[in-house]
Amino acid sequence: MKKHKIIPVFIFFVVVLAAAGGIWFRCKDTGPAGKRVSNQKTFPQFHSETDQDKDGIDDQTDILKGALDYVATKPKYKSQYYNGGYPDDGYGVCTDVVAFAMKAAGYDLMRLVAKDVEQHTDAYDIDQPDPNIDYRRVKNLQVYFGRHAQSLATDVSDVEEWQGGDIVIFRKHIGIVSDKRNKNGVPYVIHHYSPWQRSYEQDILERRSDIVGHYRWNFGNESGEKAKQNKKTQNSR
């Protein structure tokens, strides 16, 4: 009897260790502790023509810098609801990296998403809209950026297409593309994945098979659904 009891317990611990190992592999630190990773390959960096907050820095650079400034505060991973939307207690999740990055460029992602949800509810799978949380859900941001940002290649081998300040969406995760690249020219990702994450800037793109979106914020220019609709109109003429 004792032997039969030991086997399920042993299997349980094996499963737990395997899961922990998977998390560690995905989130392991690939750069020196407390420092940014070294750039192993360089390409010309894309710069936006827009400077929303009029600070003399283009939006693309502002978004990249905003993401780095946010993770420099070393937010602790915790998913919880906030009245007013934006976390203000040192905690956060993956979507907050993107929200604070865009805020640094002069864009209130909470208000932008809330407005789009209100005007195009049928585009979102939301039963009861709530501005405080809607912009902090990956599935909603995938819809929003698909409608309002420039959609780019999801193939990581097209390395020059991936630029610092871009937005990358995985099946249940999101982050900002770094300006630092590995030896293959593939950029790192600035993200917040779990409480056990050892670094916020990591070499994960080539290891992920669940990339569902790659976007570049191009506010004020034709992009997303508007571009698709105009293209259909031109083709029908």
Rounded CA-CA distance 15/26 in Å is: 17
**How many separate domains does the chain show?**
1
Whether residue 143 lies inside any domain: the answer is yes
Give pLDDT tens digits for 165-192. Answer: 999 999 999 999 999 999 999 999 999 9
Q: pTM to 2 decimals?
A: 0.81
In a domain, 122, yes or no: yes
Whether 1 is in a domain gets the answer: no
Question: Residue 8 falls within a domain, yes or no?
Answer: no
- Would 128 be classed as within a structural domain? yes
Lowest mean pLDDT segment, chosen from 29-33, 57-61, 108-112 = 29-33
What's the domain range around 167? 31-235
- The string of pLDDT tens digits covering residues 195-223 is 999 899 999 999 999 999 999 998 755 44
For residue 143, pLDDT over 80 is answered with yes
Name 170's Cβ contacts closer than 8 Å, sequence gap at least 6: 138, 208, 210, 211, 212
pLDDT at 12 over 70: no
Q: Is residue 22 part of a domain?
A: no
Q: Would the pLDDT of 30 be above 50? A: no
Residue 17 has pLDDT above 70, yes or no: no
Q: Give the highest mean pLDDT range of 20-29, 53-62, 212-221.
A: 53-62
For residue range 80-121, list pLDDT tens digits in order.
999 989 999 999 999 999 999 999 999 999 999 999 999 999
Residue 176 resides in a domain = yes
Sheet arrangement for strand 187-190: 150-151, 211-216, 167-170, 173-181, 187-190, 201-202
Model confidence at 225, in pLDDT bands (50, 70, 90)?
Answer: low
Domain for residue 12, yes or no?
Answer: no
Residue whose pair of structure tokens reads 């960096």 in the numeric block: 45
